[in-house]
C-alpha cells in the first residue's frame, strides 16, 4: 500500500497534468463553489420533500429500474444529497461527489440523522476527480450540468460515462429551456437581483440529445416532465395558479410534457 505522501504526490501530478491540458478552457463560472456553499446553508430535509422532489425521485427510480439492493449509484454534484439518502433507504450502495465542502457536510449529516450507512464521499471537482472508472451501475445528477459552459457540459457527460460500468446508465436531470413559465420567473428574479444560483444555461430535451450525439453517443433517451413547477415559478401568483388548477399532485408532477420543468436524459453505456 502506498504511503500518504506518495498518494498526495500522485494526485498533485494528475491535477497538474489536467490543468496543463485544459488551461485555455474555462468550464464554469468563477466562484461557483462559493455560490453553492451559500445555497447549501438553506437545505432542509422537511421542506425538500414536496411533490416536486417526490416526482423527481419517482421518475429517477423508474429510469434506474429496481431492485435497488446491491446497486452502486453515485451522484455527481450531490448538493444536499437528500435524493441519494432516499436511494440508500431503497437499498442502493450510494456514493456522493461535490466540490462544496458545505454541501457534503449537509449530505453526510442527512445520512447520519436517518441512521443510514455512510456514503462513499468524494470532495472533488466533477470534471477532475479520483472516482474509479467502470464502477457504478448508475451515475446521475440533477440541477448540475446547466451551471457549466458548453465545454464543461461535454466533459461532465464524458466523466459520468467513464464512471459507469459497461451496461450501466448515466441519468441527467436539468431544468428545461422550453419551460416558458420558469424562464419568465427566472428572468424576473434576475431583474430584481434575487436569483441565487449563479450562471445557469438550461437545456431542452432536443439540445442535450444533440450534445450527446456530438460526443458519439447513440443510446440516448430524453424527455421532459413536471409542468407544475414551471407555473409555480411565475412571479407572485405562480403557486396560487398551480393550486387553483388542482395540479399540485404527484401524478401531475410526474406527467411528461414538452413544457415540463425537468429535462431528463438517460444514456446507456
- The CATH number assigned to the domain holding 71 equals 3.40.50.150
Q: Residue 49: inside a domain, yes or no?
A: yes
Domain ranges, residue 100: 28-268
Identify the residue with better confidence: 50 or 7. 50
Mapped onto helix, strand or coil, the DSSP state of residue 166 is strand
Residues ≥6 apart with Cβ < 8 Å to 26 = 149, 151
Q: Considering the domain boundaries, does residue 4 fall inside one? A: no
In a domain, 3, yes or no: no
The total of structural domains in the chain comes to: 1
Long-range contacts (CB closer than 8 Å, 24 or more residues apart) made by 22-27: 25/151, 26/149, 26/151, 27/127, 27/148, 27/149, 27/151, 27/152, 27/155
Residue 61 within any structural domain of the chain: yes
State how far the Cα of 130 lies from the Cα of 52, in Å rounded to an integer.
33
Residue 77 lies in a domain: yes
Compare 268 and 1 and report the one with higher pLDDT. 268
pLDDT, position 66? 78
pLDDT at site 2: 43
Q: Is 121 domain-assigned?
A: yes
pLDDT > 70? residue 101: yes
The overall average pLDDT reported for the chain is 92
Ramachandran area for residue 65 (φ above 0: left; ψ -120 to 50: alpha; else beta): left
Q: Is residue 125 part of a domain?
A: yes
14 — pLDDT class (breaks 50, 70, 90) = low
User: pLDDT tens digits for 161-214?
Assistant: 999 999 999 999 999 999 999 999 999 999 999 999 999 999 999 999 999 999
Residue 18 lies in a domain: no
Amino acid at each position: 500500500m502506498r504511503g500518504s505522501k506518495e498518494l498526495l504526490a500522485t494526485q498533485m501530478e494528475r491535477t497538474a497534468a489536467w490543468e496543463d491540458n485544459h488551461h485555455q478552457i474555462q468550464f464554469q463560472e468563477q466562484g461557483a463553489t462559493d455560490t453553492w456553499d451559500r445555497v447549501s446553508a438553506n437545505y432542509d430535509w422537511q421542506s425538500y420533500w414536496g411533490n416536486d422532489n417526490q416526482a423527481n425521485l419517482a421518475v429517477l427510480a423508474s429510469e434506474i429500474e429496481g431492485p435497488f439492493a446491491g446497486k452502486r449509484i453515485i451522484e455527481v454534484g450531490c448538493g444536499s444529497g437528500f435524493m441519494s439518502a432516499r436511494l440508500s433507504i431503497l437499498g442502493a450502495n450510494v456514493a456522493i461527489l461535490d466540490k462544496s465542502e458545505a454541501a457534503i457536510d449537509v449530505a453526510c449529516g442527512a445520512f447520519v440523522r436517518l441512521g443510514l450507512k455512510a456514503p462513499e464521499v468524494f470532495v472533488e471537482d466533477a470534471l477532475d476527480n479520483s472516482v474509479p472508472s467502470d464502477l457504478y451501475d448508475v451515475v446521475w445528477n440533477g440541477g448540475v450540468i446547466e451551471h457549466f459552459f458548453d465545454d464543461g457540459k461535454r466533459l461532465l457527460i464524458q466523466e459520468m460515462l467513464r464512471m459507469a460500468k459497461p451496461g450501466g446508465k448515466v441519468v441527467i436531470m436539468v431544468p428545461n429551456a422550453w419551460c416558458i413559465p420558469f424562464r419568465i420567473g427566472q428572468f424576473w428574479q434576475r431583474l430584481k437581483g434575487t436569483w441565487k444560483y449563479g450562471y445557469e444555461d438550461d437545456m431542452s430535451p432536443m439540445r442535450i440529445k444533440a450534445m450527446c450525439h456530438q460526443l458519439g453517443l447513440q443510446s440516448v433517451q430524453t424527455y421532459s416532465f413536471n409542468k407544475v413547477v414551471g407555473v409555480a415559478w411565475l412571479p407572485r401568483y405562480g403557486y396560487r395558479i398551480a393550486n387553483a388548477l388542482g395540479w399540485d399532485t404527484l401524478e401531475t408532477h410526474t406527467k411528461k410534457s414538452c413544457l415540463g420543468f425537468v429535462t431528463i436524459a438517460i444514456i446507456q453505456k
